[in-house]
Amino acid sequence: MPELYDALKTDPLRPDAHAALVELTWDAIAAFLPVTHETTPTIEAQKRLTAIARAAYDGVGPSPKRFLDVGCGNGLLLPFAIAVGCPPAAYRGIDLSSRMIDMARSAHADPKWSGASFEDKSFGAVADEADAAGSYDAILNGSLQFFANLRAVLARASRLLAKTADSRIVIAHISGAEFVRREKKENPMTVLSEMPSLAVLGEVAAELGMLVVTPSFMGQGADEIGRFLDEQFYLVVLRWNAENGGANGEDGVGGIAGA
């Protein structure tokens, strides 16, 4: 693909060129993953993955019927999502890296994962599917930093989300916002954005008719929670407000049941 190769050299932020660059990056990471990482996540990583899964499904409302994991990588989240009550058949993982998808399929070939799907597909392609609008109960985005326009991608995610009190968009990064800032500084052609602040997410949520919610373990008050998101672990949830089918609740930060 000579044209795409030229774009990578001259216009790497062109959407198709950037997607190819992200794919190449994560294909390379996938190739070395068996050497650089243990098969089982650390205890701390397991705690954070459990918190992410519980943010998507808190065990109070009905189990999600469709659960979209954007940037699923090697499928690390799937066992944790199932452990908190997501049916395997509800899970759909997508990633630009075909190598990561191959690893995810291989790692979850056991019948106990039957029904879960992993696809070499972009978020944009999923958003354009004919039956996509309002069809997902939970959308996990662990790859927001690879999108140039955060408002646009969250707006597209909201259009995919069913308008119920239990639906939610989960935005997460297991290493925190400060880690993403360093990534962006070191790899500006691949990492296009930083993790949004609570203030920015509040503005976006208000535009979309949603509320911003954070787990209670992060503390109280925007300043304390902001430091936690920055220095430790980024995990924020967007849920519909009462006018859009959601539950009544305080606008702003609050606790997530089970998280």
Q: What percent of the chain has pLDDT over 70?
A: 81
Q: What is the dihedral of CA 23, 26, 28, 29, to 10 degrees?
A: 180
Q: Which of 10-14, 165-169, 203-207, 213-217 has the lowest mean pLDDT?
A: 10-14
Least confidently predicted of 9-23, 122-136, 198-212: 9-23
Where in the sequence is the domain holding 150, given as residue range(s)?
A: 39-244
- Rounded CA separation 139/120 (Å): 17
Q: Which pLDDT tens digit goes with each residue over 77-136?
A: 999 999 999 999 999 999 988 888 999 999 999 999 999 999 999 999 999 998 999 999
Residue 32 domain flag = no
Kindly state the average pLDDT of the residues 38-58. Answer: 89
Contact 51, 235 (CB under 8 A): yes
| 257 lies in some domain | no
Q: What does the pLDDT read at residue 27?
A: 65
Residue 23 included in any domain: no
**Structural domain count, the chain:** 1
Pick from 166, 136, 165, 141: which is nearest to 153 by CA?
141
Across 6-126, where does the E strand assignment appear? 67-70, 91-95, 117-120
Question: How many helices (H) and strands (E) would you count in the chain?
Answer: 10, 7
Residue 9 lies in a domain: no
Q: Is the residue at 256 inside a domain?
A: no
DSSP type of residue 114: T
- Is residue 4 in a domain? no
Among 40, 59, 63, smallest CA distance to 51 is for 59
The pLDDT score that the predictor gives to residue 142 is 86
Q: Is the pLDDT of residue 18 over 90?
A: no
CATH number of the domain that residue 190 is part of: 3.40.50.150
| Domain membership flag for residue 126 | yes
| The two structure tokens encoding residue 161 | 């989300």
User: Is 213 inside any structural domain?
Assistant: yes
Helix (H) or strand (E) segment spanning residue 31: helix 15-36
pTM for this entry: 0.84
